[in-house]
Amino acid sequence: MSVHAPLAGVLTDAEVLRAASTDRSGWAGSDPGGVVRPREVADIQTLLAWAHRTGTPVVARGAGTGLAAGAVGVAGAIVLDLSRLDRIVEVDVDEQLARVEPGVITADLDAAASAHGLMYAPDPGSVGISTIGGNIATNAGGLRGAKYGVTRDHVLALDVVLADGTLVRVGRDTIKGVTGYDLVGLFTGSEGTLGIIVGATLRLIPRPTRTATATAYFADIGTAARAVTAITRSGARPAVLEILDGPTLAAIDDLERTTLRERGEALLIIQTDGFGAEEELDVLTTAIASLASHVQTATDAAASESLLFARRRALPALEALGRTLIEDIAVPRRRMAEAIDRIAAIAREEGVRIFVFGHAGDGNLHPIIVTEHAPADAPVPAAALRAADRIFALALELGGTITAEHGVGRLKRGWAQRELGPDVHALQRRLKELFDPRGILNPGSSI
């Protein structure tokens, strides 16, 4: 069904609509009615005012790298592609902040900050391909989350077009400020369901002058998880603390012709940064010395980057093996070993292949269920879906969450309701109705 929005340049070519009907989750949505790629905020306001009047659904989209089917088309909707609002408006060195449009690629902002000795800390694995707007809308995490937290920790203010086309600014361009409710926090992670982010003021921090990196191999994944506890207790703080299991190492070996798995059944990648980076890494490697079977360290940037190589190749290596169902649970860190053991049991019982890697410093595990290669619209095998459900149930049983950073999207709505419980879910629905009374913003996604 085509849509006649009051804008020039509504794209309706078949391949544009098809591309907007899916994201990196592989979920096959419907072709939307049209795609718009505005360059001006005023055009977005006009579109939203019209959509509000006519009850037309609007799905915001950044780069479409999401893993929860949040930015995917629905029949009759306009997909609002924000990738052309891509200006870094200002890097304010003295205030250590940046003002940006939502379509800026995350790595481009970090590069612009770097030119002034500053850093934009959140660094999702998709840093080179995802947008700041998408990162804010999903409250994206990343590799440096162990020390620097998630996107929310770096957002000071937002410009938002509301469902009826009104442009508002929430938050402020100061480091501190508590007037009124925290609407920046509310819009961050709202997955395009409460408003369209059209501008952001983001916190920058001094770029660490030094980094030091270690890879530590372990006889089994449980011992690696126990090493995470030893690291947490050590008093030193890694910037990066990533975990990969043996099957993931083997998949990387297959793709890259490396020999990682020969060194152990599990890998921790640890990076420290700042003036005391080497001293801090020393404390951390000492804390895990009795648990690790093989430790390698590097202190110059190029060697550090090569130690991070395995982590960056984990997802491509698994995608080469088949169709991936990428999960995203978090559990209290002390329960990570138990979570990983029980995920292995689920894999055995359901007869599916599950690989585990993740941001161990945050207790955030990505169990990846890999099935045979198949077209995106082919049904996912029942055993894989059962395994995913059991993983979500396990996360909740262990006091964790069904999604730590990828978001709820269209994939996990039922489980989000279960995690939130009826009272909190009803409260969230009332918030949604307040912001979007006609239900036009990304219907069918998130809560």
CB of residue 25 to ligand FAD, shortest distance in Å? 9
To the nearest whole angstrom, how small is the minimum distance from the Cβ of residue 444 to ligand FAD? 11
User: Which of 68, 292 has the CB closer to ligand FAD?
Assistant: 68
Residues 178-197 that bind ligand FAD (CB under 6 A): 191-192, 196-197
With CB under 6 A as the rule, give the number of residues binding ligand FAD: 37
Closest distance of CB 382 from ligand FAD, Å: 25
Residue nearer to ligand FAD on the CB measure, 66 or 400:
66
**Number of neighbours of residue 90 by Cβ within 10 angstroms:** 13
Characterise 305 by phi-psi region: left (phi > 0), alpha (psi -120 to 50), beta (else). Answer: alpha
Q: Are residues 331 and 399 in contact, defined by beta-carbon separation less than 8 angstroms?
A: yes
Q: Tell me the closest approach of the beta carbon of residue 406 to ligand FAD, in angstroms.
A: 5
- Nearer to ligand FAD among residue 142 and residue 367 (C-beta): 142
Interatomic CA distance for residues 232 and 113, integer angstroms:
30
* DSSP calls for 40-59: -HHHHHHHHHHHHHHT--EE
Select the residue whose beta carbon is closest to ligand FAD and give its number: 134
- In DSSP terms, 216 is beta-bridged to 268, 295
Nearer to ligand FAD, 304 or 364 (CB): 364
* Contact of 426 with 390, CB cutoff 8 Å: no
Q: Nearest-CA neighbor of 300 among 176, 408, 423, 210? A: 210
Q: Are 358 and 424 in contact (CB under 8 A)?
A: no
Report which of 77, 45, 84, 82 is spatially closest to residue 60, judged by C-alpha positions.
82
**Residue 23 DSSP one-character state:** -
**CA distance to 245, 356, 396, 403, per residue, from 364 (Å):** 14, 10, 13, 9
Binds ligand FAD by CB under 6 A, chosen from 22, 138, 213, 271? 138
Q: Is 142 in the site for ligand FAD (CB under 6 A)?
A: yes
* Distance (Å, whole) CA 245 – CA 360: 12
One-letter amino acid at 315 equals: L
Given 17, 20, 23, 281, the residue binding ligand FAD (CB under 6 A): 23
- Each residue 319-358 as x (binds ligand FAD by CB under 6 A) or -, in order, gives ----------------------------------------
Residue 442 as a binder of ligand FAD (CB under 6 A): the answer is: yes
In the bound complex, what is the minimum distance in angstroms from residue 237's beta carbon to ligand FAD?
19
CB 142 within 8 A of CB 127: yes
Site for ligand FAD in 380-419 (CB under 6 A): 405-406
Tokens of 287: 């804390």
Q: Near ligand FAD by CB under 6 A, which window of 122-130, 177-185, 238-246, 339-347?
A: 122-130
Query: Shortest gap between Cβ of 197 and ligand FAD (angstroms)?
Result: 4
Decide whether 26 or 247 has the Cβ nearer to ligand FAD. Answer: 26
Specify the stretch interacting with ligand FAD by CB under 6 A; choose among 53-61, 238-246, 268-276, 431-439: 53-61
Residue 310 as a binder of ligand FAD (CB under 6 A): the answer is no
67: contact with ligand FAD by CB under 6 A: yes
Q: Residue 191 CB, nearest distance to ligand FAD (Å)?
A: 4
Q: Which stretch binds ligand FAD (CB under 6 A): 89-97, 108-116, 126-134, 270-278?
A: 126-134
Considering only residues 80 to 99 of the shown chain, the ones binding ligand FAD according to CB under 6 A are 82
Compute CA distances 123 → 18, 132, 141, 147, whole Å: 29, 11, 7, 12
229 token code pair: 């506890």
What is the smallest separation between the CB atom of 267 and ligand FAD, expressed in angstroms?
17
Amino acid type, 423: D
3-state class (DSSP) for residue 369: strand
- Select 38 or 141, whichever has its Cβ closest to ligand FAD: 141
Q: Does 66 interact with ligand FAD (rule: CB under 6 A)?
A: yes
Residues 268-287 that bind ligand FAD (CB under 6 A): none
Looking at beta carbons only, is 59 or 221 nearer to ligand FAD? Answer: 59
Q: How far apart are the first and last CA of the chain?
A: 26
The encoded tokens of residue 92 equal 């304010």
Residue 264 found at the interface with ligand FAD (CB under 6 A): no
* 271 and 291 Cβ atoms separated by less than 8 Å: no
Closest CB to ligand FAD among residues 84, 430: 84
The torsion defined by the Cα of 59, 60, 64 and 69, in degrees rounded to 10, comes to -40
Rounded to the nearest whole angstrom, what is the least distance from the CB of residue 125 to ligand FAD in the complex? 3
Residue 57 binds to ligand FAD (criterion: CB under 6 A): no
Residue 387 near residue 354, CB atoms below 8 Å: yes
Residue tagged 């918030």 (tokens)? 431
Contacts with ligand FAD, residue ranges (CB under 6 A): 23-24, 59-67, 70-71, 82, 102, 124-126, 130-131, 133-135, 137-138, 140-142, 191-192, 196-197, 315, 405-406, 442, 445
